[in-house]
Amino acid sequence: MPTLSFTCDYNEGAHPLILQRLAETNLVQEAGYGYDSFTQSAREKIRAAVGIPTAEVYFLTGGTQTNATVIDALLKGYEGVIAARTGHIAVHEAGAIEFCGHKVLTLPSHDGKIDPGELEQYILEFYADETWPHMVCPGMVYLSFPTEYGTLYTKAELERIWDICQKFKYRLFIDGARLGYGLASDACDMTLPELARLCDAFYIGGTKVGALCGEAVVFPRKAPEHFFTTVKQHGALLAKGRLTGIQFDALFTDGLYFEISRNAILRAMEIKKLFQQAGIPLYIDSPTNQQFPILDSRQMEKLDGKVLFEIWERLADGRCVTRFATSWATTEEQVEALAQLL
Protein backbone atom coordinates (compact mmCIF):
# COMPACT_ATOMS: atom_id res chain seq x y z
CA MET A 1 0.00 0.00 0.00
CA PRO A 2 1.32 3.45 -0.85
CA THR A 3 2.16 5.48 2.21
CA LEU A 4 0.33 8.47 0.80
CA SER A 5 -3.45 8.42 1.01
CA PHE A 6 -6.16 10.99 0.41
CA THR A 7 -8.98 8.47 0.23
CA CYS A 8 -10.95 9.90 3.11
CA ASP A 9 -10.85 11.96 6.28
CA TYR A 10 -10.84 8.98 8.60
CA ASN A 11 -7.58 7.34 7.60
CA GLU A 12 -5.73 8.11 10.81
CA GLY A 13 -6.47 7.69 14.50
CA ALA A 14 -7.13 10.74 16.66
CA HIS A 15 -5.53 14.07 17.28
CA PRO A 16 -2.57 13.50 19.65
CA LEU A 17 -4.09 15.76 22.32
CA ILE A 18 -7.06 13.41 22.48
CA LEU A 19 -4.85 10.38 22.99
CA GLN A 20 -2.97 12.31 25.62
CA ARG A 21 -6.17 13.14 27.51
CA LEU A 22 -7.35 9.54 27.26
CA ALA A 23 -4.06 8.42 28.77
CA GLU A 24 -4.02 11.05 31.54
CA THR A 25 -7.55 10.28 32.70
CA ASN A 26 -7.42 6.57 32.11
CA LEU A 27 -7.60 5.29 35.67
CA VAL A 28 -9.93 7.92 37.07
CA GLN A 29 -13.06 6.08 38.10
CA GLU A 30 -16.14 7.66 36.63
CA ALA A 31 -19.83 6.87 36.19
CA GLY A 32 -20.99 5.31 32.95
CA TYR A 33 -23.45 6.30 30.24
CA GLY A 34 -22.39 9.93 29.95
CA TYR A 35 -22.71 10.79 33.63
CA ASP A 36 -18.96 11.22 33.97
CA SER A 37 -17.33 14.58 34.62
CA PHE A 38 -15.56 14.65 31.26
CA THR A 39 -18.81 14.42 29.40
CA GLN A 40 -20.29 17.13 31.60
CA SER A 41 -17.35 19.34 30.82
CA ALA A 42 -17.57 18.63 27.09
CA ARG A 43 -21.25 19.51 27.16
CA GLU A 44 -20.52 22.85 28.79
CA LYS A 45 -17.81 23.69 26.31
CA ILE A 46 -20.03 22.84 23.37
CA ARG A 47 -22.85 24.95 24.81
CA ALA A 48 -20.38 27.81 25.02
CA ALA A 49 -19.15 27.26 21.47
CA VAL A 50 -22.70 27.14 20.23
CA GLY A 51 -23.59 30.19 22.25
CA ILE A 52 -26.70 28.65 23.77
CA PRO A 53 -26.31 27.90 27.47
CA THR A 54 -29.48 25.81 27.52
CA ALA A 55 -28.71 23.70 24.47
CA GLU A 56 -28.99 19.95 25.11
CA VAL A 57 -25.99 17.93 24.03
CA TYR A 58 -25.69 14.16 23.57
CA PHE A 59 -22.76 12.12 22.39
CA LEU A 60 -23.22 9.23 19.99
CA THR A 61 -20.66 7.08 18.25
CA GLY A 62 -21.01 7.35 14.47
CA GLY A 63 -22.73 9.23 11.71
CA THR A 64 -25.28 6.73 10.42
CA GLN A 65 -26.24 5.89 13.97
CA THR A 66 -26.66 9.54 14.82
CA ASN A 67 -28.74 10.28 11.76
CA ALA A 68 -31.05 7.32 12.37
CA THR A 69 -31.47 8.02 16.08
CA VAL A 70 -32.09 11.75 15.80
CA ILE A 71 -34.36 11.50 12.77
CA ASP A 72 -36.41 8.73 14.36
CA ALA A 73 -36.70 10.67 17.61
CA LEU A 74 -37.84 13.86 15.87
CA LEU A 75 -40.29 12.30 13.44
CA LYS A 76 -43.74 11.01 14.18
CA GLY A 77 -44.36 7.45 13.09
CA TYR A 78 -46.10 8.36 9.86
CA GLU A 79 -43.67 11.05 8.75
CA GLY A 80 -40.79 10.97 6.30
CA VAL A 81 -37.68 13.06 5.88
CA ILE A 82 -36.83 15.21 2.87
CA ALA A 83 -33.23 15.00 1.64
CA ALA A 84 -31.19 15.64 -1.47
CA ARG A 85 -31.01 12.62 -3.75
CA THR A 86 -27.31 12.48 -2.92
CA GLY A 87 -27.81 12.90 0.83
CA HIS A 88 -25.94 10.40 2.97
CA ILE A 89 -29.17 9.05 4.48
CA ALA A 90 -30.58 8.50 0.99
CA VAL A 91 -27.62 6.57 -0.35
CA HIS A 92 -24.94 5.27 1.93
CA GLU A 93 -26.58 4.26 5.18
CA ALA A 94 -27.87 0.85 4.13
CA GLY A 95 -31.45 1.92 4.69
CA ALA A 96 -30.95 2.83 8.36
CA ILE A 97 -33.73 5.43 8.17
CA GLU A 98 -36.17 3.00 6.57
CA PHE A 99 -35.16 0.47 9.20
CA CYS A 100 -36.67 2.91 11.71
CA GLY A 101 -39.85 2.98 9.60
CA HIS A 102 -39.40 6.30 7.82
CA LYS A 103 -39.26 7.01 4.11
CA VAL A 104 -36.55 9.27 2.70
CA LEU A 105 -38.24 11.68 0.30
CA THR A 106 -35.69 12.90 -2.22
CA LEU A 107 -35.26 16.20 -4.02
CA PRO A 108 -32.83 16.96 -6.85
CA SER A 109 -29.25 17.54 -5.81
CA HIS A 110 -27.41 20.66 -6.91
CA ASP A 111 -23.81 19.76 -6.21
CA GLY A 112 -25.11 18.00 -3.10
CA LYS A 113 -27.50 20.73 -2.00
CA ILE A 114 -31.24 21.02 -2.18
CA ASP A 115 -32.63 24.21 -3.64
CA PRO A 116 -34.91 26.15 -1.25
CA GLY A 117 -37.24 27.08 -4.11
CA GLU A 118 -37.55 23.47 -5.20
CA LEU A 119 -38.16 22.47 -1.61
CA GLU A 120 -41.05 24.89 -1.25
CA GLN A 121 -42.41 23.86 -4.64
CA TYR A 122 -42.26 20.21 -3.62
CA ILE A 123 -44.17 20.87 -0.41
CA LEU A 124 -46.81 23.00 -2.11
CA GLU A 125 -47.34 20.34 -4.76
CA PHE A 126 -47.54 17.67 -2.11
CA TYR A 127 -50.48 19.29 -0.35
CA ALA A 128 -52.05 20.35 -3.66
CA ASP A 129 -52.41 16.68 -4.53
CA GLU A 130 -55.70 15.59 -3.00
CA THR A 131 -54.36 12.12 -2.42
CA TRP A 132 -51.65 13.32 -0.02
CA PRO A 133 -53.12 11.59 3.03
CA HIS A 134 -52.30 8.34 1.21
CA MET A 135 -48.69 9.37 0.91
CA VAL A 136 -45.84 9.79 3.38
CA CYS A 137 -46.19 13.18 5.08
CA PRO A 138 -42.92 15.10 5.19
CA GLY A 139 -41.97 15.98 8.75
CA MET A 140 -38.36 17.04 8.46
CA VAL A 141 -35.73 18.46 6.15
CA TYR A 142 -32.28 16.87 6.31
CA LEU A 143 -29.26 18.81 5.12
CA SER A 144 -25.61 17.92 5.27
CA PHE A 145 -23.15 20.69 5.97
CA PRO A 146 -20.83 20.45 4.15
CA THR A 147 -22.65 18.21 1.69
CA GLU A 148 -21.36 14.90 0.40
CA TYR A 149 -19.87 16.95 -2.47
CA GLY A 150 -18.05 19.34 -0.20
CA THR A 151 -20.37 22.26 -0.90
CA LEU A 152 -21.89 24.64 1.62
CA TYR A 153 -25.26 26.25 2.13
CA THR A 154 -25.04 30.01 2.48
CA LYS A 155 -26.60 31.63 5.50
CA ALA A 156 -29.31 33.06 3.25
CA GLU A 157 -30.12 29.60 1.90
CA LEU A 158 -30.25 28.09 5.35
CA GLU A 159 -32.48 30.90 6.59
CA ARG A 160 -34.83 30.34 3.72
CA ILE A 161 -35.00 26.60 4.38
CA TRP A 162 -35.51 27.26 8.09
CA ASP A 163 -38.37 29.64 7.28
CA ILE A 164 -40.00 27.02 5.08
CA CYS A 165 -39.65 24.45 7.87
CA GLN A 166 -41.18 26.84 10.38
CA LYS A 167 -44.06 27.58 8.06
CA PHE A 168 -44.94 23.92 7.59
CA LYS A 169 -43.96 22.81 11.10
CA TYR A 170 -41.23 20.57 9.78
CA ARG A 171 -38.15 19.96 11.82
CA LEU A 172 -34.76 20.90 10.32
CA PHE A 173 -31.80 18.62 11.00
CA ILE A 174 -28.24 19.25 9.86
CA ASP A 175 -25.82 16.36 9.43
CA GLY A 176 -22.50 17.85 10.49
CA ALA A 177 -20.29 14.82 10.03
CA ARG A 178 -17.76 17.28 8.58
CA LEU A 179 -19.10 20.40 10.28
CA GLY A 180 -15.66 21.65 11.27
CA TYR A 181 -14.48 21.61 7.68
CA GLY A 182 -17.54 23.58 6.64
CA LEU A 183 -17.14 26.25 9.30
CA ALA A 184 -13.42 26.57 8.63
CA SER A 185 -13.92 27.17 4.92
CA ASP A 186 -13.39 30.65 3.51
CA ALA A 187 -16.66 30.18 1.69
CA CYS A 188 -18.65 29.79 4.90
CA ASP A 189 -20.62 32.90 5.82
CA MET A 190 -22.00 31.55 9.09
CA THR A 191 -20.68 31.07 12.58
CA LEU A 192 -21.49 27.99 14.64
CA PRO A 193 -23.93 29.97 16.86
CA GLU A 194 -25.68 31.28 13.76
CA LEU A 195 -26.05 27.81 12.30
CA ALA A 196 -27.28 26.45 15.62
CA ARG A 197 -30.14 28.94 15.66
CA LEU A 198 -31.33 27.90 12.23
CA CYS A 199 -32.24 24.29 12.95
CA ASP A 200 -33.89 21.97 15.45
CA ALA A 201 -30.94 19.65 15.74
CA PHE A 202 -27.49 19.21 14.29
CA TYR A 203 -24.41 17.27 15.10
CA ILE A 204 -20.79 18.20 15.38
CA GLY A 205 -18.85 15.46 13.68
CA GLY A 206 -15.97 14.01 15.62
CA THR A 207 -15.09 10.84 13.71
CA LYS A 208 -13.99 12.77 10.63
CA VAL A 209 -12.59 15.75 12.52
CA GLY A 210 -9.95 14.47 14.86
CA ALA A 211 -11.69 11.96 17.11
CA LEU A 212 -11.43 8.17 17.18
CA CYS A 213 -15.21 8.11 17.08
CA GLY A 214 -18.07 10.24 18.27
CA GLU A 215 -20.61 12.80 17.16
CA ALA A 216 -22.00 15.52 19.41
CA VAL A 217 -25.72 15.98 18.85
CA VAL A 218 -26.96 19.45 19.73
CA PHE A 219 -30.59 20.36 20.30
CA PRO A 220 -30.47 24.16 20.43
CA ARG A 221 -33.90 24.34 22.02
CA LYS A 222 -35.10 21.11 23.51
CA ALA A 223 -34.24 17.48 23.05
CA PRO A 224 -37.04 15.03 22.28
CA GLU A 225 -38.54 13.65 25.48
CA HIS A 226 -36.61 10.73 26.98
CA PHE A 227 -33.95 10.99 24.30
CA PHE A 228 -31.53 9.10 26.55
CA THR A 229 -33.83 6.07 26.36
CA THR A 230 -34.21 6.43 22.61
CA VAL A 231 -30.42 6.48 22.27
CA LYS A 232 -30.24 3.25 24.28
CA GLN A 233 -33.07 1.70 22.27
CA HIS A 234 -31.12 2.40 19.08
CA GLY A 235 -28.04 0.70 20.51
CA ALA A 236 -26.22 4.02 20.49
CA LEU A 237 -25.43 4.47 24.18
CA LEU A 238 -21.82 3.91 25.18
CA ALA A 239 -21.27 2.30 28.58
CA LYS A 240 -18.00 4.19 28.79
CA GLY A 241 -19.45 7.57 27.88
CA ARG A 242 -16.12 9.01 28.94
CA LEU A 243 -14.73 7.87 25.58
CA THR A 244 -16.73 10.50 23.69
CA GLY A 245 -16.76 12.91 26.60
CA ILE A 246 -12.98 13.11 26.87
CA GLN A 247 -12.58 13.44 23.12
CA PHE A 248 -15.04 16.30 22.74
CA ASP A 249 -13.71 17.92 25.87
CA ALA A 250 -10.30 17.97 24.23
CA LEU A 251 -11.66 19.09 20.87
CA PHE A 252 -13.48 22.02 22.43
CA THR A 253 -10.62 23.13 24.62
CA ASP A 254 -8.77 26.17 23.29
CA GLY A 255 -10.50 25.95 19.95
CA LEU A 256 -8.77 22.73 18.91
CA TYR A 257 -11.73 21.60 16.80
CA PHE A 258 -11.64 24.78 14.73
CA GLU A 259 -7.88 24.89 14.48
CA ILE A 260 -7.50 21.37 13.14
CA SER A 261 -10.43 21.88 10.80
CA ARG A 262 -8.66 24.89 9.41
CA ASN A 263 -5.60 22.75 8.68
CA ALA A 264 -7.71 20.47 6.50
CA ILE A 265 -9.04 23.46 4.55
CA LEU A 266 -5.60 24.96 3.97
CA ARG A 267 -4.26 21.66 2.72
CA ALA A 268 -7.35 21.13 0.52
CA MET A 269 -6.94 24.54 -1.07
CA GLU A 270 -3.30 23.77 -1.80
CA ILE A 271 -4.34 20.53 -3.46
CA LYS A 272 -7.05 22.30 -5.41
CA LYS A 273 -4.45 24.73 -6.71
CA LEU A 274 -2.15 21.83 -7.65
CA PHE A 275 -4.85 20.32 -9.82
CA GLN A 276 -5.73 23.64 -11.37
CA GLN A 277 -2.08 24.31 -12.15
CA ALA A 278 -1.79 20.90 -13.74
CA GLY A 279 -4.74 21.75 -15.95
CA ILE A 280 -6.87 19.05 -14.36
CA PRO A 281 -10.54 20.05 -14.28
CA LEU A 282 -12.52 19.86 -11.04
CA TYR A 283 -15.92 18.19 -11.07
CA ILE A 284 -17.26 20.57 -8.43
CA ASP A 285 -15.90 23.83 -7.13
CA SER A 286 -15.67 22.60 -3.55
CA PRO A 287 -14.56 25.06 -0.87
CA THR A 288 -14.02 22.39 1.77
CA ASN A 289 -11.83 19.40 2.49
CA GLN A 290 -13.01 17.20 -0.35
CA GLN A 291 -11.76 17.92 -3.88
CA PHE A 292 -13.04 16.16 -6.97
CA PRO A 293 -10.52 16.29 -9.83
CA ILE A 294 -11.45 14.61 -13.10
CA LEU A 295 -8.55 12.41 -14.17
CA ASP A 296 -8.01 10.79 -17.55
CA SER A 297 -6.57 7.33 -17.91
CA ARG A 298 -3.05 8.61 -18.43
CA GLN A 299 -3.22 10.62 -15.25
CA MET A 300 -4.74 7.71 -13.36
CA GLU A 301 -1.89 5.47 -14.44
CA LYS A 302 0.66 8.02 -13.42
CA LEU A 303 -0.69 8.12 -9.87
CA ASP A 304 -1.40 4.43 -9.63
CA GLY A 305 0.43 2.73 -6.80
CA LYS A 306 1.85 6.00 -5.56
CA VAL A 307 -1.09 7.71 -3.93
CA LEU A 308 -4.47 6.49 -2.78
CA PHE A 309 -7.69 8.36 -3.54
CA GLU A 310 -11.29 7.42 -4.17
CA ILE A 311 -13.01 6.91 -7.49
CA TRP A 312 -16.25 8.84 -7.23
CA GLU A 313 -17.81 8.25 -10.63
CA ARG A 314 -16.75 6.95 -14.01
CA LEU A 315 -17.70 9.30 -16.82
CA ALA A 316 -18.94 8.13 -20.19
CA ASP A 317 -15.81 9.47 -21.89
CA GLY A 318 -13.59 7.16 -19.85
CA ARG A 319 -12.38 9.79 -17.42
CA CYS A 320 -12.90 9.40 -13.69
CA VAL A 321 -14.25 11.81 -11.14
CA THR A 322 -11.99 11.17 -8.15
CA ARG A 323 -12.04 12.38 -4.59
CA PHE A 324 -9.03 13.64 -2.68
CA ALA A 325 -9.86 14.36 0.96
CA THR A 326 -7.74 16.16 3.49
CA SER A 327 -8.23 16.12 7.22
CA TRP A 328 -6.96 17.44 10.53
CA ALA A 329 -4.05 15.02 10.00
CA THR A 330 -2.97 16.04 6.51
CA THR A 331 0.52 17.51 6.51
CA GLU A 332 2.25 19.98 4.24
CA GLU A 333 4.69 17.18 3.46
CA GLN A 334 1.87 15.02 2.14
CA VAL A 335 0.65 17.81 -0.11
CA GLU A 336 4.20 18.37 -1.29
CA ALA A 337 4.49 14.67 -2.10
CA LEU A 338 1.34 14.88 -4.17
CA ALA A 339 2.71 17.95 -5.94
CA GLN A 340 5.74 15.93 -6.97
CA LEU A 341 3.54 13.23 -8.44
CA LEU A 342 1.42 15.59 -10.55
Residues 122-181, interacting with a second copy (CB under 8 A): 130-131, 133-137
The reply to whether 98 sits near a second copy by the rule CB under 8 A is: yes
Q: Say how far apart CA 107 and CA 118 lie, in whole Å.
A: 8
Scan residues 227-266 and list those touching a second copy (CB under 8 A): 228-230, 232-240, 242-243
User: Closer CB to a second copy, residue 186 or residue 313?
Assistant: 313
Q: Give CA–CA dist 126/201, Å, rounded.
A: 24
Residue nearer to a second copy on the CB measure, 31 or 278: 31
Distances (CA, A) of 9 to 170, 190, 196, 199, 332: 32, 23, 24, 26, 15
Kindly state whether residue 222 participates in binding a second copy, applying the rule CB under 8 A.
Answer: no
Query: Residue from 25, 40, 41, 191 that binds a second copy (CB under 8 A)?
Result: 25
Q: For residue 214, which amino acid is it?
A: G
d(CA 199, CA 173): 6
Could you tell me which stretch among 30-38, 39-47, 148-156, 182-190 binds a second copy (CB under 8 A)?
30-38
Establish if 45 lies at the interface with a second copy (CB under 8 A): no
Q: Is 209 in the site for a second copy (CB under 8 A)?
A: no
Among 52, 123, 329, 338, binds a second copy (CB under 8 A): 329
Asked whether the beta carbons of 289 and 178 are under 8 A apart, the reply is: yes
- Alpha-carbon distance of 222 to 240, in angstroms, equals 25
Q: How far apart are CA 291 and CA 267, in angstroms?
A: 11
Applying CB under 8 A, the site for a second copy has a residue count of: 80
Q: Which of 48, 101, 124, 166 binds a second copy (CB under 8 A)?
A: 101
Beta bridge partners of 82: 105, 141
CA distance 267 to 122: 39
Which C-beta is closer to a second copy: that of 53 or that of 169? 169
| Site for a second copy contains 225 (CB under 8 A) | yes
Is residue 316 involved in binding a second copy (CB under 8 A)?
no
| Nearer of residues 222 and 226 to a second copy, judged by Cβ | 226
